[in-house]
C-alpha cells in the first residue's frame, strides 16, 4: 500500500491511498466468499450455492460496494497507523463514490483520497524568564456590608402594598408583552404573573425603571434595550417596547442585623455580629488573593500563548464552542442539568443562521482556552512534570472521605484529582520560572499577595503507563468544584489541559465533585470510538 500525505490548514492532513492489485483481489474474493456462505439461494443449502448464482441473486454491484467498503476501511486504519497520524476526527473520503465504483477492478490498483483532522502541533516560544506586570486585587471593606445586606434581603418578609406606586426595592408581579421597533411581537418576550425584583440590574436596561412609579392595575408602555451579549442573538443590542400591567406589589421588610439573626443564619456556628464580620473580612481577603492569583496566571498564560504557534482543528474549536453554549444556557436559562447531548439537540432545532451567530460569539474564548490548554500540555511534556503516586492516592482518599456515602466512579474521580494536582504543579512551576511585578490600581509597586511556593514535588512519580499527563481538567478550579464534562471515557488520546481557571486551588467541594463525577458516568455510558466508515 502506498500513502501520500499533504498538510492542509486547520491541522488537517490529506491522504492519497493506493492499494495494490493483489490486495484488491484478495479483498474481493473474501467478500464474495462471505456472501456465498451467508446468502440463501432457493434450492440450495446456505453456503452451498454456486458463486454465479449468488452473484446473480445479490447483484455484482452489491459485491463490489461491499468489497470497496472493506478495502477502504482497512486501508484507512493501516495508513493512519503506518504514518503515525493521531486523528481527532473520522477520516473523510473525498473521492466521489461514483468515481470509485467506476474505477474499481479486481485486477488493478485501487486508489482514493481523503483527509482527517489531527492533533495540532504545538510550537512553544519562551515560557521561562518572562517579566510581567500584574495589578494586585485588594479586599474592599465595603464588601462586608454588601454581603450582609444581601443576606438581610434574602430573609426579608414581603408585605403587600396598596397605597403607593411601585418603587425600587419592591417585588412586583406583572404581565408583559414585548414588541420590536416595527411593532411586531417578539418571540419569547412575553410572560404572565411574572415576579420581578425592582432592582435596576434585575432585568434588561430600562424595564425596571419603567415599572417604578406604576400603580396597581395600571398598564404602561415601557421602552427598554436588550444587552449586547443577550443569549438570543436576534434580540441582542436591540431596543424594544413592552406593554406592562402591574397586578401585585409588595415591599421588603428587612430583619434586624443582630446576634439572633447571625445565629439563625449560621445554624448556631456563630453567635454574634462581630464574629460574622470577622469571618467575612477573612473571606474577602482570601477572595482577593484568589483573584490576584488568577490575574497572575492569566498574565503568564497570555504571554506564553502569544508566542506559541498552534493551528487549531475546527472540530476541537466546535467542541469548545458547544461547551460554552452549554454553560451559557445553564447560567441564563437555569437549565442546571443540561447535558452536551441536550445542547446538540437545541442547536439542531435552531435555524442555521442562529447557530452560526452563537458559535461566532463563543469562538474567540474557545480558541483562547484551547491555545492555553495545548500550550500547558506541551510544557508538561517537555518539562516532565508529573504527580507523585502517594500524593495522588492521599488526595483521592481525602476526597472520598469528604464525599461520604455518595456513590462515585473511583476511576473517574482519580482522573479528576490527577487533573487538579497536575494543574497546580505546572502553574506553580511557571510562577517560579517567571518574574511578576505587582502594582496597585494606580500602578504603584506593591508586595506580592501570593503565598510562598509549594514544597518541591516528591521523587515518587506515576509512570507513563499509569498516568498520561495530557489529561488535565482545571475548568472548575475557579469555582472550587471539578467539572468532568471534558474527561473522556478513554483519556489516552486527550492531550490538552483545560485552563478556564488555574488559580483557586485552596479548597474542595466534595459533594459537587461526587455529583459531577456521577453525572459523567451516566452521560458517557456506552460511548466508544468507531472506525471510519466509507459510506
Neighbours of 500 (CB within 10 A): 20
Q: What residues have CB less than 8 Å from 332, skipping those under 6 apart?
A: 231
* Residue 404, Ramachandran bin (φ over 0: left; ψ between -120 and 50: alpha; else beta): left
Q: What residues have CB less than 8 Å from 301, skipping those under 6 apart?
A: 372, 375, 376, 499, 502
Which regions of the chain are under pLDDT 70?
38, 40, 43, 45, 47-48, 231, 330-344, 347, 451-535
- How does DSSP classify residue 251? E
> In this structure, are residues 482 and 513 in contact, taking their beta carbons and an 8 Å threshold?
yes
Class of residue 326 by CB neighbours under 10 A (exposed 0-12, middle 13-18, buried 19+)? buried
Tallying the residues shown for the chain, one arrives at 535
Q: Is the dihedral of CA 519, 520, 522, 523 positive or negative?
A: positive
Q: Is the pTM of this model over 0.75?
A: no
C-alpha cell at 20: 495494490
The number of CA neighbours under 13 Å toward the Cβ of 32 is 19
Distance, CA of 288 to CA of 138 (rounded, Å): 6
Class of residue 74 by CB neighbours under 10 A (exposed 0-12, middle 13-18, buried 19+)? middle
Question: What is the structure's pLDDT at 203?
Answer: 84
Q: What residues have CB less than 8 Å from 14, skipping those under 6 apart?
A: 5, 6, 7, 8, 94, 113, 114, 115
> In this structure, are residues 486 and 475 in contact, taking their beta carbons and an 8 Å threshold?
yes
| pLDDT per residue as tens digits for the range 186-208 | 887 888 999 998 988 878 889 99
The gap from C-alpha 503 to its chain's centroid, in whole angstroms, comes to: 18
| pLDDT per residue as tens digits for the range 381-399 | 999 999 999 999 999 998 8
* Residue 385, Ramachandran bin (φ over 0: left; ψ between -120 and 50: alpha; else beta): beta
Give 256-305 as a DSSP string.
P-SHHHHHHHTTTS--SHHHHHHHHHHHHHHHHHHHHHHHHHHHHHHHHH
Distance, CA of 446 to CA of 292 (rounded, Å): 12
**Rounded alpha-carbon distances, angstroms, from residue 395 to 147, 413, 415, 421, 428:** 32, 10, 11, 9, 18
Amino acid at each position: 500500500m502506498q500513502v501520500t500525505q499533504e498538510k492542509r490548514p486547520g491541522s488537517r492532513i490529506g491522504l492519497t491511498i493506493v492499494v495494490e492489485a493483489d490486495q484488491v483481489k484478495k479483498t474481493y474474493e473474501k467478500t464474495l466468499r462471505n456472501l456465498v456462505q451467508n446468502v440463501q439461494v432457493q434450492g440450495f443449502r446456505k453456503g452451498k450455492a454456486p458463486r454465479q448464482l449468488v452473484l446473480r441473486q445479490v447483484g455484482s454491484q452489491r459485491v463490489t460496494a461491499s468489497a470497496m467498503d472493506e478495502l477502504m476501511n482497512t486501508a484507512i486504519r493501516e495508513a493512519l497507523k503506518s504514518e503515525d497520524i493521531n486523528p481527532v476526527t473520522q477520516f473523510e473520503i473525498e473521492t466521489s463514490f461514483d468515481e470509485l465504483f467506476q474505477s474499481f477492478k479486481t485486477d488493478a490498483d485501487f486508489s482514493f483520497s481523503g483527509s482527517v483532522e489531527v492533533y495540532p502541533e504545538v510550537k512553544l516560544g519562551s515560557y521561562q524568564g518572562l517579566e510581567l506586570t500584574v495589578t494586585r486585587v485588594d479586599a474592599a471593606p465595603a464588601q462586608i456590608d454588601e454581603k450582609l445586606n444581601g443576606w438581610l434581603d434574602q430573609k426579608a418578609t414581603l408585605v403587600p402594598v396598596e397605597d403607593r406606586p411601585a418603587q425600587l426595592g419592591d417585588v412586583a408581579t406583572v404581565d408583559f408583552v414585548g414588541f420590536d421597533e416595527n411593532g411586531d411581537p417578539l418571540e419569547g418576550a412575553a410572560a404572565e404573573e411574572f415576579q420581578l425584583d425592582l432592582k435596576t440590574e434585575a432585568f434588561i436596561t430600562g424595564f425596571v425603571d419603567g415599572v417604578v412609579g406604576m400603580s396597581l392595575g395600571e398598564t404602561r408602555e415601557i421602552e427598554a434595550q436588550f444587552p449586547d451579549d443577550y443569549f438570543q442573538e436576534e434580540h441582542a443590542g436591540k431596543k424594544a417596547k413592552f406593554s406592562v400591567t402591574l397586578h401585585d406589589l409588595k415591599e421588603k421588610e428587612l430583619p434586624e442585623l443582630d446576634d439572633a439573626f447571625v445565629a439563625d443564619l449560621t445554624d448556631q456556628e456563630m453567635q454574634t455580629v462581630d464574629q460574622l464580620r470577622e469571618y467575612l473580612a477573612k473571606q474577602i481577603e482570601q477572595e482577593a488573593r484568589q483573584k490576584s492569583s488568577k490575574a497572575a496566571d492569566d498574565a503568564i498564560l497570555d504571554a506564553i500563548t502569544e508566542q506559541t504557534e498552534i493551528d487549531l482543528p475546527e472540530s476541537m474549536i466546535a467542541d469548545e464552542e458547544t461547551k460554552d453554549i452549554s454553560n451559557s444556557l445553564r447560567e441564563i436559562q437555569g437549565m442546571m442539568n443540561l447535558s452536551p447531548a441536550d445542547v446538540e439537540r437545541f442547536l439542531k432545532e435552531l435555524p442555521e443562521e442562529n447557530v452560526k451567530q452563537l458559535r461566532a460569539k463563543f469562538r474567540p474564548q474557545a480558541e483562547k482556552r484551547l491555545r492555553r490548554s495545548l500550550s500547558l500540555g506541551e510544557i508538561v511534556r517537555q518539562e516532565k512534570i508529573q504527580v507523585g503516586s502517594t500524593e495522588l492516592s492521599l488526595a483521592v482518599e481525602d476526597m472520598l472521605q469528604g464525599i461520604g456515602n455518595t456513590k462515585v466512579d473511583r476511576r473517574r474521580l482519580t482522573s479528576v484529582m490527577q487533573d487538579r494536582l497536575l494543574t497546580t504543579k505546572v502553574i506553580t512551576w511557571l510562577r517560579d520560572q517567571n518574574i511578576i511585578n505587582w502594582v496597585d490600581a494606580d500602578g504603584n509597586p506593591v508586595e506580592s499577595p501570593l503565598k510562598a511556593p509549594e514544597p518541591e514535588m516528591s521523587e515518587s512519580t506515576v509512570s507513563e503507563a499509569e498516568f498520561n499527563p495530557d489529561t488535565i481538567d482545571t475548568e472548575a478550579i475557579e469555582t472550587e468544584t471539578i467539572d468532568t464534562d471534558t474527561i473522556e471515557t478513554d483519556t489516552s488520546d486527550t492531550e490538552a489541559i483545560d485552563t478556564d481557571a488555574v488559580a483557586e486551588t485552596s479548597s474542595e467541594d466534595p459533594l459537587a465533585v461526587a455529583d459531577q463525577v456521577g453525572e459523567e458516568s451516566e452521560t458517557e455510558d456506552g460511548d466508544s470510538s468507531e472506525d471510519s466508515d466509507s459510506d
